[in-house]
Amino acid sequence: MTIYLNGKFMPIEEAKISVLDRGFIFGDGVYEVIPVYSRKAFRLAEHLRRLQHSLDGIKLANPHSDGEWTMLINELVARNEAEDQYLYLHITRGVAKRDHAFPNPPVKPTVFMMSNPLLTAPAALLHSGVACITAPDNRWLRCDIKAIALLPNVLLRQMAVDAGAVETILIRDNAFMTEGAASNIFVVNNGKLLAPPKDNLMLPGITYDVVLEIAAANGIPHEVRKIGVAEVFAADELLLTSSTKEVLAITQLDGKPVGTGKPGAVFAKLHKLYQDFKRDVMRAT
């Protein structure tokens, strides 16, 4: 596997960073995950825009222009084997003596990128749907920043794994649903697709935007608004989206069936439209 670190491409075994890197010491950095289909980065402009939003959120200057990122990303994709890949981009505030405050003057940020093969959900999973659990959203109030400090998300996801489920759906203030530990969540009630608003309490998902665009373009009734916890438990369907999982049906919640317990009609429609959209955008010659 060829990775990129601070200006150089190299085998992952050769990549080394200092133990004083602020990413290692403080989790002081941000990241992106970008899917690549047929060697083309999906929604690259949108991912780079979200990266800028995250960097602004932690007051770290962007080390590259969008043009430079695009060149580096294309080269990383070319140097790795899979046709479909997922890219991980990671920027930290760099290496400095341990002090919570920013290094002054600023030091060079650490820039790391790697690629892994992108394996989308197997047919059996699309057919059965996945199990989720719910838990209180105990994260900070800037969940719109794609921060590398992911300990709450790690612990919340592990709760799902320990319960034999794939994801934890997060409930803020015992009142409304925000998102999953590493995904966005949609609710379907009475044929209408409901999505929580992109505020400071959730990551503005790139897949989330695609799903809403597809719904709008295909006449699927939808609404963006706060979703109460009771609506989650009364849902006819629940959907999970992310760059690596695309669109999945959630068919069990806290051990009970969601709706009929099978992937529903809105999921089937959106999943097909999502695949069509990908094919049209990415595989068109």
End-to-end CA distance of the chain: 28
Q: How far is the CB of 196 from ligand PDD (least distance, A)?
A: 11
Selected from 2, 115, 134, 184, the binder of ligand PDD by CB under 6 A is 184
Q: Per CB under 6 A, does 92 bind ligand PDD?
A: no
Integer-rounded Cα Rg, in Å, for the chain is: 19
Q: How far is the CB of 47 from ligand PDD (least distance, A)?
A: 7
Q: Per CB under 6 A, does 205 bind ligand PDD?
A: yes
- The number of residues that bind ligand PDD (CB under 6 A) is 15
For residue 279, give every residue at least 6 positions away whose Cβ sits within 8 Å of its Cβ, in sequence order, or none: none
Nearest to 77 by CA among 51, 110, 44, 55: 44
Alpha-carbon distance 90 to 80, whole Å? Answer: 18
Q: Per CB under 6 A, does 62 bind ligand PDD?
A: no
Selected from 4, 69, 176, 208, the binder of ligand PDD by CB under 6 A is 208
Alpha-carbon distance 216 to 277, whole Å? Answer: 13
Selected from 42, 179, 214, 237, the binder of ligand PDD by CB under 6 A is 179
Question: CA 98 → CA 55, 108, 109, distances in Å?
Answer: 21, 15, 15
Nearest to 183 by CA among 149, 215, 217, 160: 160
Q: Per CB under 6 A, does 54 bind ligand PDD?
A: no
Q: Per CB under 6 A, does 168 bind ligand PDD?
A: no
Q: How far is the CB of 285 from ligand PDD (least distance, A)?
A: 26
> Which one, 183 or 252, has the nearer CB to ligand PDD?
183
Site for ligand PDD in 128-157 (CB under 6 A): 153
- Give alpha helix (H) positions in the chain: 22-26, 44-57, 66-79, 123-128, 151-162, 206-217, 229-233, 265-282
Segment interacting with ligand PDD, rule: CB under 6 A, options 21-29, 66-74, 105-113, 199-207: 199-207
Respond yes or no: is residue 146 known to be catalytic. yes
Nearest to 240 by CA among 150, 168, 151, 192: 168
**Residue 159: Cβ within 10 Å count:** 15
> Which one, 85 or 243, has the nearer CB to ligand PDD?
243
Segment interacting with ligand PDD, rule: CB under 6 A, options 19-27, 66-74, 95-103, 180-188: 180-188
Alpha-carbon distance 136 to 243, whole Å? Answer: 24
Selected from 207, 238, 239, 273, the binder of ligand PDD by CB under 6 A is 207
Question: Given 16, 146, 256, 272, which residue is catalytic?
Answer: 146
Residues assigned a catalytic role? 146
Binding site for ligand PDD (CB under 6 A): 33, 153, 179, 182-184, 203, 205-208, 241-244
